Structure 1
Amino acid sequence: MPETGEIAPDFTLPRDDGPPLTLSDQRGQRVVLFFYPRDATAGCTAQARGFSERLDAFTALGTQVWGISRDSLASHARFREKHALRVPLLSDAQEPAENGVCALYGVWREKKLYGRVHMGILRSTFLIGADGRIAASWTGVRVPGHVDAVYDAIADTR
């Protein structure tokens, strides 16, 4: 997992509502990357809706917000439409998963659910500074209050 102060790993990923996005092309402005496990689940929906509802406030602070999961572009499109999401949703559906952006950011992890072990995305958020470095990160995110915490971290650095 990249540490605060390190250059953020660069990537290009397809998105559901436009051309692919490349992180290094965004130098000069901040980017929030929120990694989430799966489209249309309760926590992921709340998180994506929270970032979408506050998107104008993030934009006013010179910050883009991107959601990343391993779901397909078609799944992202359905998710966006059903919940009127405004943030770009990027697909890291690369195989094998160990070669994807989720692995590059250290969020592709072994997880336990109801006693079963499986690989999945650890809900995490990274704030990339205008200089391309990791400015802050949150791992094992609990959704309630998270969007506000990320916003406050950006507002405090202005």
Structure 2
Amino acid sequence: MAARLEPGRKAPDFTLPDAQGRPVSLADHRGRRVVVYFYPKASTPGCTTQACDFRDSLERFAADGFAVVGISPDGPEALARFADAEALTFPLLSDADHRVAEAYGAWGEKKNYGKTYEGLVRSTVVVGPEGDVELAQYNVRATGHVAKLRRDLGLDA
């Protein structure tokens, strides 16, 4: 398993294709805080719940100076279907070879129904305006994660 990121460390830079195949880079968000969240698979129940929670909180995140970016191993076509089906207006990025997930410590051993395998670990990393990790959370729950993240960031009392 890749090393997990710690606050204060530089966030690994990346450029990945979005749902339309256009390149999106972490550097595109320099100067503002960005929530980078990793989810296992588009259009599955947990990932849909989490994405819709981010969608429903997007205006509040933006008002607090945050951008939101979702990353999964899905290809751009699957991301486009997911974004259209759920009216997701923030960038969904394709990390098909999971290099970015590995660099962020979001790829590793998982267990499900007694089976052990390698896969994407649901994770969220908050990157500051200068590219430093402010917060890194791993093995997060899909349900309630956005509310907990906002509390952990001191955005909601």
**TM-score, length-scaled by structure 1:** 0.90
Match of 1:67, SS? strand
Residue 12 (structure 1) aligns with:
15
Residue 70 (structure 1) aligns with:
73
State the Cα distance separating 1:150 from its structure 2 match: 1.9
> Is residue 36–residue 70 contact of structure 2 (8 Å, CA) maintained in 1?
yes
The letter of the residue matching 1:105 is: Y
The letter of the residue matching 1:48 is: A
The letter of the residue matching 1:9 is: P
State the Cα distance separating 1:25 from its structure 2 match: 2.9
Residue 123 (structure 1) aligns with:
122
**Structure 1: stretches of 5+ with no match in the other structure:** none
Residue 136 (structure 2) aligns with:
137
> Is residue 21–residue 76 contact of structure 2 (8 Å, CA) maintained in 1?
no
RMSD: 1.4
Residue 107 (structure 1) aligns with:
106
**Aligned pairs, how many?**
152
CA distance in 2, matches of 1:18, 1:88: 11
Determine what percentage of the aligned residue pairs are the same residue. Answer: 45
The letter of the residue matching 2:105 is: G
State the Cα distance separating 1:144 from its structure 2 match: 2.5
**TM-score, length-scaled by structure 2:** 0.91
State the Cα distance separating 1:51 from its structure 2 match: 0.2
Residue 42 (structure 2) aligns with:
39
CA distance in 1, matches of 2:52, 2:152: 19
> Is residue 61–residue 154 contact of structure 1 (8 Å, CA) maintained in 2?
no
CA distance in 1, matches of 2:135, 2:72: 20
Cα distance, 1:72–1:18 mapped onto 2, change above 3 Å: closer
**Structure 2: stretches of 5+ with no match in the other structure:** none
